């Protein structure tokens, strides 16, 4: 090669080497810039793709009865979920997933869109509380859709089944309406109380979710953990319920519709509340089948209705004590006022019948209460103005809800002129003849069982108006003892002791020699534990004769009621019992009340429920006798 060519080649090779080194140096500079100057930025991006934050759902607090018996517990459950960052966006994928899960594609699409727009939070749950067969199916589905994952979460368990379904309620995912109504308070996918004490006590029962940071591989499987913040469980709550007494009511109703409430006269605590037909809250933890929807939500017997606080019943003769109270306070009668009952009496051109066709004869007030004479109370009601009756009911707490710590309590219906004008604008005038029916607890008047129980608790405590409640206190996890709830205010109505003694005597005679004494079991229990009360029979449909009544369908039969307190001396409990379409209060409702008395004052003490760990004791136990109210 000629020298000139060799020189040219050397120059070209030098230029190439210079370019090559320039490229290497440029690459080195870029690499150094990426690895050093932007190291933190790219590390964060990589971690965001490989390290995921997973919420740890907090277990809800346990619910115990007053003796520490568990009513609601938690169990571990396995859910099939989609994490928020893995939510599919292709319509074909969503449709295929919906088909595999047996879901409506449109509904699944809406849920995915809602979760995508909601930002960070809990994953979208597709299948809840899976058993072994569900897990096997889910694993096959996950093979087709790798973005699905399994998640362990706490599941609510209602240990008594239907024992206290209406009181406890149930939990479920927060709905869209509540999310819109209270923005920021809840987040999508959160489990909250939907009814009963689960709803009203939600703030106490819900815990604080935790979170963990995990490293995942390209398939989304966890390969390492970067630490976690543990979830904080909700508070363990004691309710005032006595599980044994609740069981007595469940057994006593034997499938008959109605409701019963038993109150603690010291503070208004609800010792038992049963509504029949009841329901098992465990059934509402998963998506309901159509059969379940029809069975519970569309059932004409309305098993989801808590009749104890939402059922409005004509109180029948149990209301006669309020009429007597109004008449005595207004001075239109005295305890010695005698009225003659011939079996019927005409008022304003209409004949009003007594339950005893042959009549009771001449009766004073105590005798009229004991024999439940309708003519006596028709006559007393005719001496009163309807607004006088309303004012007395208002004074003794019957015109407003009781304030129990449960959602959706109904307001009692006590008629007045103002009420009639609002309820019936086409015929707003109150007629004197309408007051006659109110005098025996019929017509427009309607009470919830808990309102009736509260009224008789007021009589038992000689005028103290208590606030029924379920919350008894929280468990201190360090000492495993009860931290009691602060006492609720008690209103003194100023009931005249002389009037009270007359009413008390009348209620005593009901059980000793009156309408309730007709039942042998009631007499037997009253001999062991003297208790007082008033029978009631509330007419559902009109009939001409008892023969016609006997031919009426079951749903047209009278409601049976009994309300009272026990024992007569230094009473501890008050109660109200309603049995729908069961006939007379003495045959259907009074025996249930007698079973309540028998359990509370005899069976409970001879066969006590085991106490919880720690110093918490039953204040009604023999070792700690109750204070007299």
DSSP annotation string for 354-373 = -SSTT--EEE-HHHHHHHT-
For 237, phi then psi, to 5°, come to -110, 135
Mean pLDDT, the chain, rounded, equals 87
For 543, phi then psi, to 5°, come to -150, 155
Rounded CA gap, 166 and 308, in Å? Answer: 9
User: Residue 553 has what pLDDT?
Assistant: 57
User: Residue 622 has what pLDDT?
Assistant: 42
With a cut of 50, say whether residue 544 has pLDDT above it: no
- For 364, 389, 394, 463, the CA distances from 333, given in Å and listed in that order, are 10, 14, 20, 20
With a cut of 50, say whether residue 134 has pLDDT above it: yes
- Indicate the pTM of the whole model: 0.85
Per-residue model confidence as pLDDT tens digits over 288-328: 666 776 777 788 889 999 999 999 999 999 999 999 999 99
Residue with more model confidence, 230 or 541: 230
With a cut of 60, say whether residue 628 has pLDDT above it: no
Rounded CA gap, 93 and 72, in Å? Answer: 39
Rounded CA gap, 160 and 59, in Å? Answer: 19
Identified catalytic residue from 275, 276, 317, 586: 317
pLDDT, mean of residues 590-609:
90
User: Residue 526 has what pLDDT?
Assistant: 97
With a cut of 80, say whether residue 472 has pLDDT above it: yes
Strands (E), 159-205: 171-173, 191-193
From the list 599, 538, 602, 611, the residue with the least C-alpha distance to 248 is: 599
With a cut of 50, say whether residue 615 has pLDDT above it: no
With a cut of 90, say whether residue 258 has pLDDT above it: yes
Please state which of the ranges 217-226, 416-425, 535-544 shows the lowest mean pLDDT. Answer: 217-226
Please state which of the ranges 45-54, 72-81, 85-94 shows the lowest mean pLDDT. Answer: 45-54
pLDDT, mean of residues 245-257:
94
Confidence of residue 56 (pLDDT cuts 50, 70, 90): confident
Confidence of residue 120 (pLDDT cuts 50, 70, 90): low
Please state which of the ranges 31-45, 203-217, 232-246 shows the lowest mean pLDDT. Answer: 31-45
With a cut of 60, say whether residue 612 has pLDDT above it: no
User: Residue 617 has what pLDDT?
Assistant: 39
Residue with more model confidence, 208 or 408: 408
Residue with more model confidence, 454 or 78: 454
User: Residue 54 has what pLDDT?
Assistant: 77
User: Residue 153 has what pLDDT?
Assistant: 86
Please state which of the ranges 169-183, 305-319, 433-447, 606-620 shows the lowest mean pLDDT. Answer: 606-620
161: left (phi over 0), alpha (psi -120 to 50) or beta: left
The answer to whether 253 and 262 have CB atoms below 8 angstroms apart is no
With a cut of 60, say whether residue 613 has pLDDT above it: no
User: Residue 358 has what pLDDT?
Assistant: 94
**Is 317 an active-site residue?**
yes
Please state which of the ranges 64-73, 116-125, 349-358, 607-616 shows the lowest mean pLDDT. Answer: 607-616
For 305, phi then psi, to 5°, come to -80, 125
With a cut of 70, say whether residue 429 has pLDDT above it: yes
Please state which of the ranges 63-67, 178-182, 217-221 shows the lowest mean pLDDT. Answer: 217-221
pLDDT over 90, % of the chain: 58
């Amino acid at each position: 090669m000629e020298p000139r060519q060799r020189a040219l080649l050397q120059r070209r090779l030098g230029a190439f080497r210079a370019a090559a080194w320039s490229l290497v140096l440029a690459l080195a500079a870029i690499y150094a810039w990426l690895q050093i100057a932007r190291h933190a930025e790219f590390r964060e991006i990589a971690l965001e793709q490989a390290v995921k934050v997973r919420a740890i759902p907090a277990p809800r607090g346990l619910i115990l009865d007053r003796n520490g018996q568990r009513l609601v517990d938690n169990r571990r459950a396995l859910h099939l979920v989609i994490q928020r960052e893995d939510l599919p966006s292709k319509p074909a994928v969503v449709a295929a997933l919906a088909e595999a899960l047996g879901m409506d594609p449109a509904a699944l699409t809406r849920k995915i869109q809602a979760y995508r727009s909601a930002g960070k939070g809990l994953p979208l749950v597709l299948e809840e509380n899976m058993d072994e067969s569900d897990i096997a199916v889910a694993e096959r589905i996950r093979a087709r859709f790798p973005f699905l994952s399994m998640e362990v979460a706490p599941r609510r368990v209602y240990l008594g089944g239907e024992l206290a379904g209406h009181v406890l309620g149930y939990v479920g995912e927060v709905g869209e309406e509540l999310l819109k109504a209270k923005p920021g308070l809840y987040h999508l996918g959160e489990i909250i109380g939907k009814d009963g004490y689960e709803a009203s006590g939600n703030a106490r029962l819900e815990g604080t979710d935790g979170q963990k940071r995990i490293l995942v591989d390209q398939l989304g499987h966890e390969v390492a953990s970067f630490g976690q913040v543990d979830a904080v469980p909700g508070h363990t709550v004691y309710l005032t319920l006595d599980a044994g007494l609740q069981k007595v009511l469940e057994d006593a109703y034997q499938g008959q519709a109605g409701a019963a409430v038993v109150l603690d006269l010291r503070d208004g605590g609800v010792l038992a509340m049963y509504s029949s037909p009841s329901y098992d809250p465990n059934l509402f933890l998963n998506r309901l089948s159509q059969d379940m929807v029809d069975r519970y939500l569309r059932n004409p017997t309305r098993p989801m209705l808590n009749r104890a606080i939402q059922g409005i019943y004509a109180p029948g003769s149990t209301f006669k004590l309020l009429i007597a109270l109004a008449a005595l306070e207004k001075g239109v009668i005295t305890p010695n006022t005698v009225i003659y009952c011939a079996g019927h009496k005409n008022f304003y051109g209409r004949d009003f019948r007594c339950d005893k066709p042959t009549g009771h004869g001449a009766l004073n007030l105590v005798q009229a209460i004991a024999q439940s004479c309708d003519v006596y109370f028709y006559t007393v009601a005719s001496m009163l103005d309807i607004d006088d009756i309303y004012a007395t009911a208002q004074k003794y707490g019957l015109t407003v809800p009781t304030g129990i710590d449960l959602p959706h309590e109904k307001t009692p219906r006590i008629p007045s002129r103002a009420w009639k004008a609002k309820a019936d604008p086409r015929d707003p005038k109150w007629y004197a003849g309408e007051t006659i029916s109110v005098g025996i607890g019929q017509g427009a008047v309607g009470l919830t069982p808990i309102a009736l129980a509260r009224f008789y608790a007021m009589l038992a405590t000689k005028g103290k108006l208590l606030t029924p409640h379920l919350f008894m206190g929280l468990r201190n996890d360090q000492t495993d003892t009860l931290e009691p709830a602060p006492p609720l205010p008690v209103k003194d109505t100023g009931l005249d002791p002389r009037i009270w003694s007359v009413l008390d005597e009348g209620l005593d005679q009901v059980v000793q020699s009156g309408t309730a004494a007709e039942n042998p079991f009631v007499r037997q229990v009253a001999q062991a534990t003297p208790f007082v009360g008033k029978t009631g029979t509330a007419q559902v449909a009109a009939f001409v004769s008892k023969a016609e009544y006997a031919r009426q369908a079951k749903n047209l039969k009278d409601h049976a009621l009994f309300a009272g307190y026990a024992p007569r001396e230094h009473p501890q409990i008050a109660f109200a019992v309603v049995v729908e379409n069961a006939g007379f209060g003495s045959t259907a409702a009074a025996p249930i009340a007698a079973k309540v008395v028998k359990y509370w004052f005899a069976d409970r003490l001879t066969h006590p429920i085991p106490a919880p760990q720690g110093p918490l004791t039953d204040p009604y136990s023999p070792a700690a006798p109750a204070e007299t109210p």
